[in-house]
Structure formats: C-alpha cells, structure tokens
Amino acid sequence: MNILNFLQIFALLGSLFAQQSKCPNGIRIRKEIRDMTNAELEALKNAINVMRSTSTGNRTETIYDYIVKVHLDYVPIAHNTPQFLPWHRLYVLYVEDILRQIDPTVTIPYWDWGVDAARPLNSVVFSDKYFNIRPGPQGDCSFRVIYPRVHCVVRNYNANNFTTFINSETLQSIASDTEGDYGSFRETIEFIPHAVVHSGVGGVNGDMTSMMSPNDPIFWLHHSMIDKIWADWQEQTDNFWLYEGTHLGQTASLWNNLEPFKSNVWQSMDFDSLCYRYAPLSNRPQMLSHEELEDTPLPDRIPLSWIQMHGMDEEKFRNVENRIRSIMMAQKEGKEISREITGAKDNNEGAKLSSTLFYSIAIALLAFIPAF
C-alpha cells in the first residue's frame, strides 16, 4: 500500500468517525417536494406556523420575523461574494434545526424548478399543499410579516405572462462548464438561475424580489435547491473543497467566518458533517423534446433594479446572462453547445488532488481530537 492510499483510507475513517460523533441521529434526508407525503408536508407547514406564532419577546416580532431580519442584516457578506453559497447553506440549516426543535421529523425539501422551468406555475409549490400565497400587489394576508414594515406577503406577478426558469439541461451545462472553477460556478448560479426565480415569483415590488425574500416561504424550497445544485457540483468535481474569489476586498479563504453562525467556510463545505443529504427526485419527468424546447420562451431578463440592489457589476452580469441565453437558444435549435461560461478553468489536477487530500486529512485529524 503506498502512502497516498494509506492517507486516503485514514481520511475516510476519520470522516466516518466524525460523522458518527456529530450526527447521533444519523443523516437527515431532504426530499424534492413532489416526493414528500401529505403528512410530511403538513408537518413542515405546521412547524413553520409555530415559528410564525411564537414571539421572540421583542414587541410583535416572531421567530419567523427574526429569521428574516438575519438575512437582511447580513446582505453584504451573503450576496455577490464567494460566501453566497456557504452562507445560505448554513442559513437554511439554521432554520431547519429550529423547525426540528418543534418537530424532529421535519426537513426542508428542495423545489427542483429546473423540472418545472417551462411552466413553473404548474408546480405543487403554488398549490395548497404548500403555502399557496395568492398573487397581487396588495399581498396575501394569510401570511403576514413585519419586516421592513407590517404587511401581507406579496407575489406581484402576472400569471398570464409568467417567466420561464432555467431548465435542467442548462443547469447540467453550467455544472460541466464550470468544473474546477468555483468562482465561475458561484457567480453563474447566483446571477441567473437563482435570480430568475426570485424575480419571477416576487414580480414588481414583491417580497422575493427584495432582501426580505425569506418573508415568502417559497424562499426555503428555492435555497434548498440552490444548495443541492452546489452539493451536486461538489460531488461531481475533482475538488470537493474548491473555494476562491474576493470577499470584502480580501482574498477569500476557507477560514473566513460565516457570521452570525459562528462557523467558517471550511465547516460548511461537507454537508455530510452537517448531517444532511439530498435524495434525487424519483420518477423524474422526461426532459423536454426538441419541439417543446422550441415552443418555450427564454426566461425574462433580470431587472436592473435587482442587479443594483445586490451591488453587482451590470456588464459582467449581462455577459453571464447572455451566455446562459445562448445555451438555451442552442438547445432550442438543436445545436452543439460551446463549452465555456465565464473564463478559463483551472486544469491543475495535481493541485486539486493535493488540496482535497489535505482537507480530508484535516477532517480526519480533527475527528480524533476530543472536543473541549
């Protein structure tokens, strides 16, 4: 047995030991919302409603309102930076842990909107099985919130002219084209697939179109999906721990803190150590035929107001948006898709392997160090 094999086995054993010690109740499984039973959906809704009705003691603020305010308070570090993915991973997990204190059977499902991309409003998430918030500029007062002011949650879209989303085929192209390049992957996902759902559901001045987007309970399903896309990308690439970019003017590091969660980026990377995994969607619908793709319009362009709210560079944003649209146009026309998104990829496989092995060994070593 060579030293590399020995170290890999040591790292694996350490990871398994750490998983068992950190996850005494085992790994929780997040399902796609279509795969949840009626009882599981009711349990989720009931737990969310308990959060909505439980006061924090701060005047009229509920636990749910407080969670929304956390998102608002950490906008600069959680958006348009490398921390976008790890920060939201811990945010969804934080909320899931609160829900599980109310009902230990609850997990936050993901909504695979890539499957529903051509006709999003036909999805179960817009039915009474979940919180079916009625669209309109005045909001739906079955779901009241207090930030930034007391109001009814607004989904101000036109049901007769609703945007399409980024389909599963395009998501696969993004994952392949950005392999080995976390910066391009994060930027592409945050800029377009993530934004088009927020913008589409929120519409003009809706909650999902604002930094108070967690006011709308569809936020949790959407960001669970965004996290699943990242988790899938992590597992398909050679470097599970890949993380790079510039954060608040400094070179991003796995040791950057993720406030307010008292964790750093490194601690967010391995979802197994966070005690959850995603189950694939069962009975996945077949991909759209060429004829259906031809008849499906491209997603609406993201409004300038969204780009500015997130402090994004408009030219860079539009370049990524145009690239995604060109991929979708190539699908419609049955053409071969060019394999490039935002830039050259790192082909240093040896460096990737060394980095992955380093962090695996680090996890293994930490697993055997007693907690104080």
**Tens of pLDDT, residues 132-149:** 899 999 999 999 999 999
Distance in angstroms (rounded) separating the CA atoms of residues 288 and 115: 9
Element at 30 (helix H, strand E): strand 28-30
Bridge partners for 196 per DSSP:
none
pLDDT for position 21: 55
Distance in angstroms (rounded) separating the CA atoms of residues 272 and 270: 5
Mean pLDDT calculated for residue range 59-79: 96
Distance in angstroms (rounded) separating the CA atoms of residues 224 and 201: 16
Distance in angstroms (rounded) separating the CA atoms of residues 22 and 274: 8
Report the 10 Å Cβ neighbour count for 131.
20
Element at 355 (helix H, strand E): helix 349-367
What does pLDDT average to over the chain?
86
Cα 89 to chain centroid distance, Å, stands at 7
pLDDT digits (tens, 9 = 90+) for 168-218: 999 999 999 999 999 999 999 999 999 999 999 999 999 999 999 999 999
Burial of 151: CB neighbours in 10 Å, binned 0-12, 13-18, 19+: middle
Domain 21-346 sits in CATH at 1.10.1280.10
Distance in angstroms (rounded) separating the CA atoms of residues 240 and 238: 6
More confident residue, 153 or 353: 153
Nearest CA to 337 among 184, 173, 192? Answer: 173
